[in-house]
Structures are given as structure tokens and as C-alpha cells.
Structure 1
Amino acid sequence: MTAWLNIVGIGEDGMDGLTPVTRATVEQADVVIGGERHHGLTPNLKAERIAWPSPFDALIDTIRTHRGKRVVVLATGDPLWYSVGPKIAKSFEADEVVFHPQLSAFQWLAVRMGWSLADLETLTVHGRPVQQMVPFIRPNARLLLLTTGAQTPSEVAEILTARGYGASRITVFGALGGDRETRFDGIASQWNHVVPDFNSMAVECVAGDGAQVLPLMGLPDDVFASDGTMTKQEVRAITLAKLMPMRGAVLWDIGCGSGSVAIEWMRGARDAVAFGVEPRADRIALATQNALALGAPRLTAIQGHAPESLAGLPKPDAVFVGGGLTEQTFQIAWNALSSHGRFVANAVTLETEAVLRDLHSKFGGQLIRLSVERAEPVGRLTGWRPAMTVTQWSLVKS
């Protein structure tokens, strides 16, 4: 099939910044689809112009209605880097589509800051909760962010300051790479700039006294709001090792409680998502609170019981049951798991442990017991205080 759909990245320099081949493609198009800004950067075209559809998810259907014509979709910078490219690539055959990349905002930011792209984090909070940046805040980290609008830099500054990184240096650019490029520099705790709606930003994290310094995974228990019922740090680390977070993967956390496992799952891999099923409303509230505070705002917390509440959930790549496993719940979860999916269940009661032993005898896998002791005060001295022993069953679907 001859390619009829061209996805063209464009910068602030408009048509002048395109290669001759790409410029000719745009000029010869029958239909050009893009945002108001994109259309403003491509004047004097003869093509039919179409604005981004609303809702944006209707874009694919809009494109399909023009199959057979010479269609150009305009995007900012590199269409395949946090833009429309991946969505389009999944929806059309490879030989139907040609991508024409331009310098991305990340590349422009790195150039302006003199930073190596290989040594920093590239993040997007465009149309997404700003809290997604939280896991990447650490001493001396350099972050480049695509923003939603003029309010985003202030929101980022507030998040940094609240976590003890108020001395962090923030630089915001508007109209990067164009004649109207602007730059705003400041410190997070004192940020008061009014910036353009269309902007990108660079952050150099500076930790102050008492700054929150957290790993991506292996979070201490006291950073979670909890009623005391949660998978503790040491057991959680082993549990996550068995669940194996992977980019874009889906977790079912059955009996999610305060959400500790689901939250670390999402912190452990880019674009990973989790669905937490929990019968108690107060624990759902805690899980939601923790997800926002710890940078996993995409947690979907569902109040309900398993296995009934599992119906209709996206196919999981991993399933965790924190307690109260039944054979019926296991069978439903196991049947739903994708190939190479991971199943992990923990038990602290004799009754649930008996279920794990029975399932282990039928399905195999690994059955272990985990015992943790922590040094705590005993009067004026110190002694070892054991936590409840956890029995863990895990297996991988081949």
C-alpha cells in the first residue's frame, strides 16, 4: 500500500524549518489536521484544514474518513516523543504512514540549558496530573518537562517546595526555537513568573535541609498514610521483585489497602498502571491520598470485593493478592493473566496459608516464608521485635 498519511513535526520556525521533502509533502496535501497553533505556523496552504477533534480520542476516526486522500497531521516537534505519533502508529498499517520528525522540545531545552539528554529525565505532565513527576525528584536530578499550560510551572514549584526542594532552579521557555522565544528563571520557593500558555520547563533539583529523599521502589512505611494494615517495606520489596514492574504493564492489586504495592508498581516502571480492589471505603481514601502524594496518580481504586469487582478490568500482566485469597479468585485472575504474567499472594493467617499450600500443590510455583525483625526500644535498652511471618506463593504463567 502507498503511504497516504504523513505525520509532520513542526517547530516555531514553521514551514522554513522543514526539510524540502517534508515541506513539499505539506504543500501538496489535500487535508491538513492540527491545532490552532499548527495551522498558524503553516499559512498559504491550499489543503482543507481540520482542527483537532474534541474529544481528542476522535482523531483516529477523523483521519480514517479521509483515507485515500493526501493527509498531513501536524504535531509539535517529534511526533513519536510524547505526542500523537504512537497512537496513530498503532491504528494504521506501517506502510500507510510516514513520520517526519522535527527537533523536540526536550532537545531544544537541553540545548538551551547545556545539558546532556543522556543524563537527565524527560517527562510529560501535558494533560496529565503534575504529581507524575514526584518519583523523579531527588538531589541533583535534572528534569525536562512538557507542560499543560501557564499554570504548570507554579504547580511544579509548589510540589518541589513541599518536599524540601524549594532551592531548586526552574527555567521556563516559551516559543522555543522561534523568533518569539522567551525565558524565565527562578527558584521554586520564590516562583512568581507569569509565563506563556505554551511553554516547556527545565528543573535542577536542589535538596534543602530535611528534603524528602526517596527511592523509586523500597519506600519506607512511614511515607504511607495507613491504618497499620499494609504490606511492610521488606516484604513489599520481595513482593515487587516477584511482580516485576515493566513499562506500560497492568497490575491488579486485590485487597490493596493503603495502596503501597500498587503505588510502588507504578513508581517502578514508566507508564505502568494499577487497579486496586478494596472493600473498605476508608482504605480506598488512604490509597488515593498516597497515590497523589507519592507520584502515582493513575492508580484506579475500586471499592468492592473480589472476585466480583474484577469483571471488566483490563487484562493484567501481574496480579497481587495481599490477603484473603480464595481458589475462585485465583482461578479468575490466573485465567485473565497475559502470557508470562506474574501472580503473587501473601498470607499472614493460618487459614489463608492453608489456601496457598493447597494451590501450590496443584499449580506449582514458589512457596516461601518471610520473617523480619526490627530493632526497637525495650525499656532503656534495645531488642529485636519480630513482625508477623508472611507466607508467599508466586508463579509465572508460561
Structure 2
Amino acid sequence: MQEIKISIIGLGACEAAQLSDGAMSTLLGAEMILGSKRQLKVVGHLLKEHQITPLLPKLDVLETVLQQYYNQGVRSVVVLASGDPLYYGIGSWFSRNFTPEKIAFYPAVSSVQEVCHRLGLSLQNIDVLSLHGRPVGKLRSKLRDQQTLLILTDAQSTPQILANELIEAGFYEAKITVCEAIGYRYEEISSYPVKALLRNPKSFDPLHITVIDTGRSVKPLPQFPGFANHHFITDGEAGRNMITKAEVRLKVLSLLEPRAGDIIYDIGAGCGSVSIELNYWCADAKVFAIEKNQQRYDCLKQNQKKFGLVTNLHAVHGSAPGILAKLPVPNKIFIGGSDGMLPQLLERLWSQLAVGGQIVATAVLENTKHDLVAFLNTRNVRGDAKVMTQQIAISHGDTLGGQLVYRQALPVSIFNFIKRSDEPVIKLRDPQAADK
């Protein structure tokens, strides 16, 4: 498609198209106009008889369809969009798949902007979340006290479904405002206390935006790294048993330093405290939490739901290293448990890691420390790793006979291995030094 020109035109959030002079000229000059049935109807009275107006195909075949039109002689195509094509719109797909010189954008006022003006909200003071084609559970990770949240929805995220999520997250006093068919003659805006909306059977217009005023939650999620242990559902008393405790977890998080695009394994994830925090603070990293114990795996899944991490946190039920063959190759790994397979696991993972890859492991038992020290010694001999190790010993305050005492928890050893090339470094002779 060397010569085809694609223009993406936003129609605005209203019954009649809001087109700039440039957008109107481009629309009238295009050989083909692609859009939904509703969008094509909006501009139908503007088009000429010779202009072709097929329905917009699904995105997974759109590039192929455009190539077919190009082969048939089409050189100018308009794609209709709602509002601002580059704000939660189809425009981002074109930006990813075509070079800038082949595409042009003509934005109009978006439905988000229209809703903000209807309700007197400053766009910079609200949070926007799209649940269109996304799991509704994602809402949970975005909820904060005293927040205004604007939601782009679909049939799986109706106002009643959102109300149920708010109740489960403890936002009993939240208010939900539903803005239906904004810009149309039958536009309607209605507000409901969250509990009342749960009991309301009303069906809302498919073209709607939901605005949530959260109020305060009676069971808020933490808002700073180092979640208190009691926030996690475990296979014992809340915050106890198989989780990495907050003090050690914070150190592990700081060593792994998760970033967008990372693929991270949490092996022996237990009930998931490390995985949860990794993904909660870095939603664009892919985290694979691997746990073989059924009860702990069930707790991991419950924590995943509780914190709303439904996109890039993948709970994997199985044993390492066997289950790892089904997963993408990681660049960062945390090992919190290995069920006696630590030496084999370390060697296999190390061989897969690229230069710059990282393994962080914790140990309480002497046998585990022995295995990690042996691995450390091997790395030192081969010179293929930057190694750091330290031990954390925490004492918690308690009372004894009415007096303050400190009770020491078992110390935890932390090993951090960063892979580097094992090729010898050849130091070149300084030519200037040779001339002296």
C-alpha cells in the first residue's frame, strides 16, 4: 500500500457530525469511507453516489482488507471514528500499524469531553478508565478514596455490574452517574447511590458513559509499596503463612525494579504477595506467579481478584521447572520457593537468561542458603554475574510482663544475580600512551 492515503475522521459526540473544514474536504474527496452502520448513517447525506461505503471490518483483518482495496485501485480511504480517534479510539491501531506519512487524523470533541462539560468536571481532575473489551475486574485496581472516575463501558460493564464491584470493594457510599446518548435528542443523565442502583433493573442505552464518585471505602486497598501483610488472603490466619512478609518483600521489589515490558517469574509464589505488588505498581510488566500447592494457588487467585490484577498477572498452577516450558522466556525471576529443586532450577533458568537478566532468591533454611551459596561460587568462578547478597533480620515489638520486648523473626538471606557476559574483557592499549 505504497500510495494509499488513510484519513481517520472523528465525528464528535453528537447526532450530527462535527466536521472541520479539513475533515469535510477529506471526507468528500475520499474514494472509500469505512465505518460502523451508525457512523455511515451520520454522514450518509453528505456523500456522493460514487463513494464506496462498506462497514468497517474487524481490526485483525483490517490491514488485509485495505490491501485488497488498494489492489483494486483505491488510493484514498476515510475511516470514521467517534470523537477523538486517538483517545481510547481506533486511531491508536493505525498509529501502530502504519507510518505517519500514510495516515492523517481529524479529531472532534470526544464523548469524555462532552460528559465533563455536562457535569462541570475538569478533565485534568478525573481519572478515565476504558473497560470496553476489557475485564470488569480491572476496575478494582484503579479505585481510590474520594476519586472521580469516568468509565468507558460495554455490555459486560453495565452500571449495575460496576455497582456490584464498588460494593465488593467497600465503597458503600459511592455515587454513580450514567450519561446516556450524549449529544442525541434522547440524551439522559441520571445519578444513583450505589446500593440503590444494584436494585434498579433499568436497561441503559448502549451509548453511555458511567461516572463514579467513590467516596470512602470501608476496606481500602493500600496506596504505597510494602502492603501490610493482613491485606493478603492466605492459607492460614490473615497475613500469615505462605507470603513474603512486607519488610523482605519491599527489598525484593526494589531489587527487581519492575518496568514496562518486563517478563517476570515468581516461582513458589505461595499466596502471591510478591506477584501482587509487582503488578500493582507496574501494570505493564507481565508477571507469571507459579505455585503448585492447590490451597495456596486458590489464595493467589483470590488475591488477584481482590486487587483487580486481571490483565498482566498470570496465575500458573504447576511445578517448576517442568511448567516453565509453557511460559515466555523471562528477563527477571524471583524464587521464593523451590520444593527441593533449587540447584536444577537455578542452572536451567540461568542458561535461558540473556545478558542483563536477573534472578533474585530468598532463603530461610540452611539447605536453601547452601544451594544459593554454591550457585554464587559457580558464578564467581565463571565471572558471568554481578552478585549481591545480604541478610535481613527483623524484630517486632511485643510486651512481656507489661514491658516492651523485641521478638526476632527468622533472618532471611537475599541473593541477587545479574547476568553478564562470561567472555574475557580485552583491554585495548592506549595509542596515545604508546607515543609517549
Which amino acid in 1 is paired with 2:392?
A: L
Distance 1:368 1:173, change over 3 A: same
Q: Secondary structure at the match of 1:149?
A: coil
**Is the Cα contact below 8 Å between 2:369 and 2:413 reproduced in 1?**
yes
**Is the Cα contact below 8 Å between 1:29 and 1:72 reproduced in 2?**
yes
Partner of 1:62 in structure 2? 65
Q: Which runs of 4+ in 1 moved over 6 A?
A: none
Give the structure with higher Rg (CA).
Answer: 2
Tell me by how many angstroms 1:144 deviates.
Answer: 1.5
Counterpart of 2:270 (choices 252, 257, 280) is: 257
Tell me by how many angstroms 1:335 deviates.
Answer: 5.8
Counterpart of 1:200 (choices 209, 212, 216) is: 209
**Is the Cα contact below 8 Å between 1:150 and 1:197 reproduced in 2?**
no
Distance 1:139 1:313, change over 3 A: same
**Is the Cα contact below 8 Å between 2:176 and 2:192 reproduced in 1?**
yes
Partner of 2:373 in structure 1? 357
Counterpart of 1:234 (choices 243, 247, 254) is: 247
Distance 1:353 1:167, change over 3 A: same
Distance 1:110 1:375, change over 3 A: farther
Counterpart of 1:110 (choices 116, 140, 149) is: 116
Q: Deviations over 1:149-187 (max 9, x none)?
A: 385221221222233322112212122344443211121
Partner of 1:183 in structure 2? 189
Which ranges of structure 1 fall in alignment gaps of 5 or more residues? none
The 5-angstrom pairing of residues 284-295 of structure 1 reads 284-295=297-308
Using structure 2 for the length normalisation, give the TM-score: 0.80
Counterpart of 1:101 (choices 107, 121, 129) is: 107
Tell me by how many angstroms 1:317 deviates.
Answer: 4.8
**Is the Cα contact below 8 Å between 2:175 and 2:213 reproduced in 1?**
yes
Partner of 2:129 in structure 1? 123
The 5-angstrom pairing of residues 1-398 of structure 1 reads 2=3, 4-13=5-14, 16-44=17-45, 45=47, 46-53=51-58, 56-67=59-70, 69=74, 70-149=76-155, 151-191=157-197, 192=200, 193-207=202-216, 210-215=218-223, 217-227=225-235, 228-247=241-260, 249-298=262-311, 299-324=313-338, 326=342, 328-330=344-346, 332-334=348-350, 342-361=358-377, 362=379, 363-376=385-398, 383-396=405-418
Distance 1:276 1:188, change over 3 A: same
**Is the Cα contact below 8 Å between 2:14 and 2:182 reproduced in 1?**
no
Tell me by how many angstroms 1:17 deviates.
Answer: 0.7
Which amino acid in 1 is paired with 2:315?
A: A
Q: Deviations over 1:244-286 (max 9, x none)?
A: 2334543222222212222222211344332222222332222
Distance 1:333 1:32, change over 3 A: farther
Q: Deviations over 1:348-382 (max 9, x none)?
A: 22222233334444112321212222234657666
Q: Secondary structure at the match of 2:89?
A: coil
Tell me by how many angstroms 1:385 deviates.
Answer: 3.1
Partner of 2:428 in structure 1? none
Which amino acid in 2 is paired with 1:345?
A: A
**Is the Cα contact below 8 Å between 1:171 and 1:201 reproduced in 2?**
yes
Say how many residue pairs are matched.
Answer: 395
Which amino acid in 2 is paired with 1:318?
A: K
**Is the Cα contact below 8 Å between 1:323 and 1:352 reproduced in 2?**
no
Q: Secondary structure at the match of 1:12?
A: coil
Which amino acid in 1 is paired with 2:333?
A: V
Counting aligned pairs with the same residue, the percent is 28
Q: Distance in 2 between matches of 1:121 and 1:22?
A: 29
**Is the Cα contact below 8 Å between 1:122 and 1:145 reproduced in 2?**
yes
Q: Distance in 2 between matches of 1:327 and 1:80?
A: 50
